[in-house]
Amino acid sequence: MGVECEACPLGLAPTASTTAMLAMGDALAVVLLEKKHFKTSDFRMIHPGGTLGQRLAGKVKDLMFTGPSLPRVSEGTSMPEAIKEIDRGKLGTTLVLTSQNKLSGIITDGDIRRMVASGQSILELTVEDVMTKNPQTLEENSPTYDALNIMEKYQITVLPIVNSQGGVQGILHLHDILGKGEFKFNGT
């Protein structure tokens, strides 16, 4: 890429060559857009003021996991069963619920790692022996930016979502706020 002469009367400042370089960059971008089947919705997802800004302005209920996909166990559950539930849920955590579907605690991969590192035989324990009691929570109509602030302040990646009576509504993962894995440059 080059030009015969710069617009600068001294021939020193890169004036015409920078404009030519911009045109070449635009041409390459257009070819890449077409080759990768890039759509308007793809652009919105990576634009700095786009998706993350929209996610943070939204409500927790718009991003949280609910229903059958929600990893949960009841109080009294053995740790081997809780570990199976953590694995099934694929969030690195499970919520521990009372018989009234209220949050009793949370168990994360980190809790299990710390327990194993302490030398205790985790397989003989119940969820109450390992769980974090009274974890940080939010209600489903809270702004997503509140969830992100709590996660950052307490250095956690998951946040149980409860109603005003402490009933479990869902769980929010940091990656769902940040949109991890949603954008792909393969046209699908």
12: which residues sit within 8 A by CB, 6+ positions away? 6
132-133 vs 168-173, strand pairing mode: unpaired
174: which residues sit within 8 A by CB, 6+ positions away? 148, 151, 156, 157, 158
**Global pTM value:** 0.68
Q: How far is CA 125 from the centre of its chain?
A: 30
The runs of H, that is alpha helices, within the chain are: 16-35, 40-46, 51-57, 79-89, 109-117, 127-130, 144-154, 174-178
No. of H helices and E strands in the chain?
Answer: 8, 6
Q: Please state the φ and ψ torsions of residue 49, each to the nearest 5 degrees.
A: -95, 10
Which of 90-94, 175-179, 183-187 is predicted with the least confidence, judged by mean pLDDT? 183-187
- Each residue's pLDDT tens digit, 21-73: 888 988 998 898 889 887 655 655 565 555 555 666 678 998 899 998 899 99
CB atoms within 10 A of CB 142: 17
Instruction: Give the length of the chain.
Output: 188
Question: Which candidate, 155, 75, 67, 146, places its Cα nearest to that of 107?
Answer: 75
- Each residue's pLDDT tens digit, 67-118: 988 999 999 999 999 999 999 999 999 999 999 999 999 999 999 999 989 9
User: Could you give the CA distance from residue 42 to residue 185 in angstroms, rounded to a whole number?
Assistant: 9
Give the pLDDT score at 2. 74
